[in-house]
Amino acid sequence: MKSHINLLPRQFRQRLLFRTRIIQWSLAWTLSLIAGTGVLSVKYFQLDAMRHMLAAKQRESSPIQTIGAENQQIRNRLAELKARQKLLLDAERTRQPLQLVGLISRSARKTGGRLKVENFTLVPIPKAAGTGTEAKSDKPSTESYRLTLKGTALDFLAVTHFVVALRDTDVFRQVKLKSSTDTHNSRGSAREYRVECVVERPVE
């Protein structure tokens, strides 16, 4: 049984209830906003502390990074120097074969076009193992190479002129005609020859 009677109009009571609900929800939203702001503030301070710690670590490691960069520059410079040295050595190795090609061509031309060089090989000659009792020499150390020339000639006389021309260059320590055999080509009978020369070059 009711102990009191609400004499307020129904419309006024609805507005009062709506205002009460708005106040309640506003309070809940405010509390949620305060809680969220607090969590975000804590996270911000944590991130800020971590950022300061990272900056301190970077300052501590800066000398190491500088040394690493300098070491990398040194390694790059050494690589460039090694590459340049290799190019110079390759150029030195290829210069003598090119000079030999010129000498061989001039010697072949002295046969009056009756001889043709068809194959050219240059290989180092391994040094014989020493006994350890040789006397020291003031002569500069040298490397020996075997030059093998193969080709065809119209006759044996052309081969002989070629061998003599090679010897007359005074470049080869030794020039030997290793073989000279009869053969046939489009121009008729010919001679196949093989000449071996020994050339020396100083060791750098």
> pLDDT tens for residues 35-67?
888 888 888 888 888 888 888 877 777 777 677
Q: What would the pLDDT profile of 144-181 be if each residue is shown by its tens digit?
A: 889 999 999 999 999 999 999 999 988 899 999 999 99
pLDDT grade, residue 183 (50/70/90)? confident
In 35-186 the beta strands, taken as DSSP E runs, fall at: 115-124, 142-153, 172-185
pLDDT at residue 77 in the model: 83
110-136 confidence digits (pLDDT tens): 999 899 999 988 888 887 654 444 445
Cβ–Cβ under 8 Å, residues 173 and 196: no
Residue whose token pair is 């609400």:
6
How confident is the prediction for the chain on average, in pLDDT?
80
3-class SS shares of the chain: helix, strand, coil, % to 5: 55, 25, 20
For residue 137, give the DSSP letter.
Answer: -
Rounded Cα gap, residues 128 and 195, in angstroms: 23
| Domain locations in the chain as residue ranges | 97-128+140-202
Coil/strand/helix, residue 123: strand
Instruction: Provide the whole-model pTM.
Output: 0.50
Residues of the chain with pLDDT > 90: what percent? 26
C-beta separation of 195 from 163 below 8 A = yes
Superfamily of the domain at 97-128+140-202: Ribosomal protein S6/Translation elongation factor EF1B (3.30.70.60)
Query: Given this model, what pLDDT does residue 91 score?
Result: 46
Mean pLDDT along residues 8-22: 73
pLDDT tier at 189 (50, 70, 90 boundaries)?
confident
* Pick from 14-23, 104-113, 122-131: least confident: 122-131
